[in-house]
Structure 1
Amino acid sequence: MTIYWPDKSDWQTAAAAETGFDPAALEEAKAFALAHESKMNRDIGAALADGHFAEPWPVCKIIGPVKDRAEPSGVILRGGRIVASWGDVERVDMTFSATKSYLALCAGLAVDDGLIPDVHEPVRRLVDDGGFDSEQNRDITWAQLLQLTSEWQGTLWDKPDSVDHNRDLSAKPGAATAKGVAREMQKPGTLWEYNDVRVNRLALALLRVFRRPLPEVLKERIMDPIGASDSWQWHGYENSWVEIDGRQMQSVSGGAHWGGGLWISTLDHARIGQLMLHDGEWGGRQILSKAWVEACRTPCALNPSYGYMWWLNTEGIQAPAATRSSFFAMGVGSNVIWIDPDHDLVAVVRWIDKPAFAGFAERVTRALR
């Protein structure tokens, strides 16, 4: 199948049957996504204030901007062309932890540029801001931050790392779990834990290395070259400003746990999916090194379903019916970029109830002829 690269002002569509889909089955997948809307309050501020992340005051305090979410939306690409879409695919929405995958792209640029010569070296060799001076933190590597195995300990932007200790991603919002109960710290690289404070520590470390705001880097190096819109925004917190080279810069957040994060349209997400599908290439130009994309898809030893801030399907956990080569950017909502290299497929599905995503992926896969 000929690869199509959409330009900034136009994106070709293709009939389902012409791209190897059963049209009726594809419509069924689309209807399924629309019928299984997220249960998350459309008033995101209210959802967070009502305890979506099950945290007590004041640690639950929202310190970044929020906006109401839209109705479900999505798009399916094959060969780069749009074969199905629903909802407002140009509307900018919060995207929660799918933002983490964009942090991984920024880290890849730093590696490609030689700003980070070796991801397995301690971060403190390049970042001297006190955050990696302690005995617990001094040996933490970039790779451990990217794989969520760092065990970084401290408080950043008034949020202690212990707020996400024992976090269970399978628990329902508001469920009573051990989340937030401080535990004994482990040696860096020996425990996998989904911890948003540590992700934000990575974002700050990357800002220190680039000495430029990450949204500027992302726009110049990735979003503009792939023809993304100018509508996306990447926010930090009201207290996440630092001075570098005499300039005030905001350190962005790796999600919207306390507000902020990447706000972006479905179509711009799809462009990123297409870039990753083709190993960092866009229209004959290598935007991100193939080696870095492969690193993002390499399973973490402590969690084979996670790479460098991209979720993997090596064990079929994310979507049992999807290929094991599939990988995903995923965030609360749910907001998902699904990339299936075996089928030359990219799908973005937004505001779908989390348990329903597997059923959506099953229907899309079944629609392939």
Structure 2
Amino acid sequence: MKITTKSLFSLLLFSFFILNFSAQEIYFPESGNWEEKDPATFSLDFSEAVQFAEANEYSESKDLRQAILKGFQHEPYHEILGPTKRRGGPAGMILKDGYLVAKWGDTKRVDMTFSVTKSFLSTTALLAFDKNLIADLEDRVVNYVWDDTFEGEHNSKITWKHLLEQNSDWSGELWGSYDWADRPSQEETIDDWRNRELHEPGTHFKYNDVRVNVLAYSLLNVFRKPLPTVLKEEIMDPINASSSWRWLGYENSWATIDGFKMQSVSGGGHSGGGMFINTEDMARFGLLFMNNGNWNREQLISEDLIEEAVQPSATNPNYGYMWWLNVDGPRQWKNRDKDIFYAAGFGGNFIIVDRKENLVIVTRWLEPSKVEEFIHKIYN
């Protein structure tokens, strides 16, 4: 068959149209605007899930200072060191292919988001690696931080990956808080906690906010500028987030870098501080990860790094680089896709990412014990 110039041009034009259409499959909202679609467009119905979220509000006080003190009352020496904020009511959004298909509550209200902050923190670590500020996540952190934070036979073995997977067993004190005083066993005494046997870095998972804050401080030393500035410039501005979010540390979590006093932020709200953010900005962040780090044809985070971040760690199959994973394990949501991953915070704050179905689900102030039932209603 003879191919004419005209037919070749038509073929190229058709190919361009197909490629362009594929690239536009995912919708990316502009600043201050979000296109809505009826879920029936996608043969979906989220009405029961929305009603459930609205009816199962987090049962503790809206005065989050009181809720925090009650929630961590068994920890020795626990105190509020950073800002807190009275919370709003249940709120949430569901995205399909980037389009807003369901929402409830005040999605523009800025609230604390507690340990969801950890997934923002781990993202800054991925950026540091992408920018070659960290040569290898298997590198020992002692080679990057100038002071004595990682000195000693035990702490000097700790790598960036250990901190990201929360299996470093870092031992020490930071900003007046001790690692052993964070979520200690209630069957032991303070002397037991102080004199505990250390685990070899990389062999024992322990959810521990002091060690998470050590990661934040270490990244501050690597970037040599505040992590909120890094996040704003590299992630939040490019995804058209609002200007209302704040990432805060403690009253005493200040360091001097290059002659400038900078706050080292916290990785959650365990002692106050952490990420203060609205539901819509959380959904934008989830959409970025749903699309493998690409926002409207701009690769903000390496796709390979995102894939690495959501792999099960050796010490906890349900935990990656500060993202929870729905794989086989004690924290799995049964009968749900094993590729789902999510950020989770105190008080029922969640960003849930389903890359197979192109879904992002954000829910706030949902009673934590009800989240699995809520998820089942999403997919039923």
Which TM-score tier does this pair reach, normalised by the shorter chain?
over 0.9
Displacement of 1:253 in angstroms is 0.0
- For residue 38 of structure 1, what is the aligned residue in structure 2? 58
Superposition pairs for residues 19-168 of structure 1, below 5 Å?
19-21=42-44, 23=45, 26-49=46-69, 51-56=70-75, 59-164=77-182, 166=184
Displacement of 1:321 in angstroms is 3.8
Superposition pairs for residues 1-369 of structure 1, below 5 Å?
2-21=25-44, 23=45, 26-49=46-69, 51-56=70-75, 59-164=77-182, 166=184, 182=193, 183-315=196-328, 317-366=331-380
The answer to whether the Cα contact below 8 Å between 2:75 and 2:181 also exists between their aligned partners in 1 is no
**3-state DSSP class of the match of 1:226?**
coil
Distance (whole Å) between structure 1 residues aligned to residue 366 and residue 170 of structure 2: 32
Give CA deviations for 1:222-255 in whole Å, capped at 9, x if unaligned: 0000000000000000000000001000000000
Quickly say closer, same or farther: Cα 1:16–1:56, change in 2 above 3 A: closer
Displacement of 1:187 in angstroms is 1.0
Distance (whole Å) between structure 1 residues aligned to residue 117 and residue 214 of structure 2: 14
Structure 2 segments unaligned to the other structure (5+ residues): 1-21
Displacement of 1:177 in angstroms is 5.7
Structure 1 segments unaligned to the other structure (5+ residues): 168-175
Give CA deviations for 1:64-108 in whole Å, capped at 9, x if unaligned: 000001100000000100100000001000000000000111000
The answer to whether the Cα contact below 8 Å between 2:75 and 2:184 also exists between their aligned partners in 1 is no
Code of the aligned partner of 2:344: M
Q: Name the % identity.
A: 45
Displacement of 1:278 in angstroms is 0.7
Code of the aligned partner of 1:337: I
Displacement of 1:36 in angstroms is 0.9
Distance (whole Å) between structure 1 residues aligned to residue 217 and residue 251 of structure 2: 14
Give CA deviations for 1:163-183 in whole Å, capped at 9, x if unaligned: 12546xxxxxxxx56597513
Quickly say closer, same or farther: Cα 1:179–1:327, change in 2 above 3 A: farther
The answer to whether the Cα contact below 8 Å between 2:342 and 2:353 also exists between their aligned partners in 1 is yes
The answer to whether the Cα contact below 8 Å between 1:73 and 1:351 also exists between their aligned partners in 2 is yes
Displacement of 1:292 in angstroms is 1.3
Distance (whole Å) between structure 2 residues aligned to residue 28 and residue 64 of structure 1: 37
Distance (whole Å) between structure 1 residues aligned to residue 178 and residue 281 of structure 2: 33
Distance (whole Å) between structure 2 residues aligned to residue 333 and residue 166 of structure 1: 20
Distance (whole Å) between structure 1 residues aligned to residue 362 and residue 340 of structure 2: 13
Quickly say closer, same or farther: Cα 1:178–1:195, change in 2 above 3 A: farther
Quickly say closer, same or farther: Cα 1:10–1:165, change in 2 above 3 A: closer
- For residue 3 of structure 2, what is the aligned residue in structure 1? none
Distance (whole Å) between structure 2 residues aligned to residue 355 and residue 248 of structure 1: 41
Give me the TM-score of the superposition, normalised by structure 2: 0.90
- For residue 19 of structure 2, what is the aligned residue in structure 1? none
Distance (whole Å) between structure 2 residues aligned to residue 208 and residue 155 of structure 1: 17
Code of the aligned partner of 2:225: R
**3-state DSSP class of the match of 2:351?**
strand
**3-state DSSP class of the match of 2:40?**
helix
Distance (whole Å) between structure 1 residues aligned to residue 66 and residue 368 of structure 2: 19
The answer to whether the Cα contact below 8 Å between 1:165 and 1:179 also exists between their aligned partners in 2 is no
Give me the TM-score of the superposition, normalised by structure 1: 0.93
The answer to whether the Cα contact below 8 Å between 1:166 and 1:193 also exists between their aligned partners in 2 is no
- For residue 171 of structure 1, what is the aligned residue in structure 2? none
Distance (whole Å) between structure 2 residues aligned to residue 304 and residue 179 of structure 1: 30
- Give the root-mean-square deviation of aligned CA atoms: 1.5
